[in-house]
């Protein structure tokens, strides 16, 4: 198939997906509509390379973006769906990398970064190259065809003034004809412009992405060579790693002394309660653990691994550092436990803890690959673990866990925050209502009132915005009508927060 015809196929599919996107994605918050549109895009991404080359693309990798797109029809959590959306984009990026005939299992971190950058650039500007470069609009197959195009264009130009003049006269002559014309052309141009803009915007991005996976022989940017390693010795690498190890060792000694030394030691030395001490520094410790992996990766890349002594010394230093980091992570998790016991669980605290656990998984994979001389296997495993970890978060339902944790805490420690519970997504509502009987009457009524004010309850969506989490929440609210009637007969005293 010629380049012109492939390009026209890409433009046609992009136009169809643009119109489909305008029809589906206008309904918010997204639910089933996003999953259906992503399935359509995945089908086009699979069909275009097949038509262009006669070879079957990596359809298996298209399951990743489709799966995360369909999760919008399951979970209502805004924060969780933000990460689902990023995972969906990452899945489409992996499809592009695989179609460039790259072995994803042996692709380096640098290649993943440059491949993602090329996919972004191709999606943003590929449609421009497709329209003005790949498709030869001004070179028809024959002079006869060219003459036909010119004749049609001239005829339309000559007809335009005649239509305007005679149309105006006929409208003035007959009111029925005038009403007919006005009914045909009675458009809401503001709404029409909005639909046209959204459809064109989606079609533009789709055309750029599909062009990027079809015209692999014409990459948008020249291949960027992977930078060469400086091949430094163990002394140059060992000094900064040794200093970092010393800092971590001092920190660990302090942590063992204070965090595990009991509340009396903390109060007498720092003047803080145990919970206040635990509250400080957790998110900084999460950042510290997240930076360890890139530090070790860059250090190993800069090292001259051709020398056996360098490899063994680096492995020893990295092992000591990772042992210290594991103690720091245990300290951070203990801080979080004390923090939650004292102040309750929030989305920030839950996801920060989950992120730290994923970092622990990545560091374990780093030990199994990089420290064993298999650096090329690291990036693929880290990405797959991220996909699996995010899928696991969708399964366990974080908002329900947050609600259950806070409602199960003794109210003598801290009363239940009704405003915080109501701010959770619809995914938490069945759990909240299942445990609402543990609250007193005033708190129950306040919580029911706040839940009935949430957008997922008030906003009625059509089938495009269907979402299982919101459906379950509304059903649970209907089953709680008895509580609502009891509250209507009892004055509610709003608490200050």
Average pLDDT, the chain: 84
Give residue 497's pLDDT. 44
**CA-based nearest residue to 219, from 137, 95, 119, 111:** 119
- For residues 429-445, one letter each, b for 16 or more C-beta atoms within 10 angstroms of the residue's C-beta and e for the rest, the string is bbbbbebbeebeebbbb
Residue 121 has pLDDT above 70, yes or no: yes
Per-residue confidence band for 239, with pLDDT thresholds at 50, 70 and 90: very high
Give residue 478's pLDDT. 86
**Total-model pTM:** 0.85
Query: Is the separation of the CB atoms in 366 and 293 below 8 Å?
Result: yes
Rounded Cα distance, 302 and 228, in Å: 9
Residue 123 has pLDDT above 80, yes or no: yes
Least confident of 42-46, 171-175, 244-248: 171-175
Average pLDDT over residues 61-78: 95
Residue 49 has pLDDT above 60, yes or no: yes
Give residue 176's pLDDT. 83
Give residue 163's pLDDT. 81
Residue 489 per-residue DSSP state? T
Alpha-carbon 435 to chain mean position: 31
Q: What is the pLDDT of residues 124-151, one digit of tens each?
A: 999 998 888 878 775 555 555 555 656 7
Q: What is the pLDDT of residues 438-463, one digit of tens each?
A: 888 888 889 998 998 888 888 878 89
Give residue 214's pLDDT. 81
Average pLDDT over residues 265-288: 68
* Alpha carbons within 13 A on the beta-carbon side of 16: 11
* pLDDT above 70 coverage of the chain, percent: 82
Rounded Cα distance, 397 and 401, in Å: 7
Rounded Cα distance, 250 and 112, in Å: 36
Least confident of 31-40, 218-227, 313-322, 398-407: 218-227
Alpha-carbon 372 to chain mean position: 32
Query: Is the separation of the CB atoms in 487 and 449 below 8 Å?
Result: yes
Q: Which residues pair with 52 in a beta bridge?
A: none
235-to-107, 227, 248, 299, 370 alpha-carbon distances in Å: 29, 22, 20, 12, 19
Higher-scoring residue by pLDDT: 219, 204: 204
Give residue 172's pLDDT. 84
**In sequence order, which residues have a C-beta less than 8 Å from that of residue 424 and are 6 or more positions away?**
77, 347, 399, 402, 403, 432
**CA-based nearest residue to 433, from 415, 451, 410:** 451
């Amino acid at each position: 198939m010629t380049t012109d015809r492939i390009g026209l196929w890409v433009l046609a599919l992009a136009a169809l997906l643009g119109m489909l996107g305008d029809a589906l994605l206008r309904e918010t918050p997204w639910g089933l509509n996003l999953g259906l549109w992503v399935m359509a895009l995945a089908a086009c991404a699979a069909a275009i390379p097949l038509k262009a080359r006669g070879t079957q693309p990596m359809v298996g990798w298209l399951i990743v973006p489709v799966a995360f797109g369909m999760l919008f029809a399951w979970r209502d959590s805004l924060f969780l769906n933000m990460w689902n959306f990023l995972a969906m984009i990452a899945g489409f990026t992996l499809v592009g990398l695989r179609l460039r005939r790259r072995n994803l299992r042996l692709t380096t971190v640098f290649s993943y970064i440059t491949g993602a950058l090329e996919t972004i650039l191709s999606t943003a500007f590929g449609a421009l190259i497709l329209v003005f470069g790949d498709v030869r609009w001004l070179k028809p197959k024959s002079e006869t065809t060219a003459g036909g195009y010119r004749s049609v264009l001239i005829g339309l130009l000559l007809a335009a003034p005649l239509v305007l003049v005679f149309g105006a006269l006929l409208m003035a002559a007959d009111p029925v004809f005038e009403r007919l014309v006005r009914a045909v052309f009675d458009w809401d141009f503001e709404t029409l412009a909005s639909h046209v803009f959204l459809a064109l915007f989606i079609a533009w991005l789709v055309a750029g992405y599909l062009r990027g996976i079809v015209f692999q022989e014409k990459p948008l940017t020249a291949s960027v060579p992977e930078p060469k390693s400086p091949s430094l010795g163990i002394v140059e690498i060992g000094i900064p790693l040794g200093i970092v190890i010393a800092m971590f060792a001092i920190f660990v000694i302090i942590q063992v002394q204070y965090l595990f030394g009991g509340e009396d030691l903390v109060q007498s030395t720092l003047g803080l309660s145990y919970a206040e001490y635990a509250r400080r520094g957790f998110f900084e410790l999460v950042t510290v653990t997240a930076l360890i992996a890139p530090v070790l990766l860059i250090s190993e890349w800069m090292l001259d691994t051709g020398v056996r002594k360098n490899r063994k010394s680096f492995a020893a230093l990295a092992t000591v550092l990772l042992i210290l980091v594991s103690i720091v992570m245990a300290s951070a998790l203990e801080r979080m436990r004390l923090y939650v016991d004292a102040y309750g669980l929030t989305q920030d605290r839950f996801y920060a803890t989950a992120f730290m656990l994923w970092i622990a998984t990545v560091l374990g994979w780093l030990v199994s690959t990089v420290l064993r001389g298999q650096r090329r296997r690291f990036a693929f495993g880290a990405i797959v673990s991220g996909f699996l970890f995010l899928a696991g978060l969708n399964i366990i339902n974080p908002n329900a866990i947050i609600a259950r944790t806070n409602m199960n805490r003794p109210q003598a420690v801290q009363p239940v925050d009704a405003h915080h519970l109501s701010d959770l997504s619809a995914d938490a509502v069945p759990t909240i209502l299942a445990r609402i009987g543990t609250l007193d009457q005033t708190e129950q009524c306040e919580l029911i009132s706040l839940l009935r004010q949430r957008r997922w309850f008030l906003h009625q969506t059509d089938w495009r915005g269907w979402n299982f989490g919101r459906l379950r929440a509304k059903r649970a609210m209907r089953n709680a009508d008895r509580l609502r009637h009891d509250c209507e007969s009892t004055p509610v005293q709003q608490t200050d927060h």
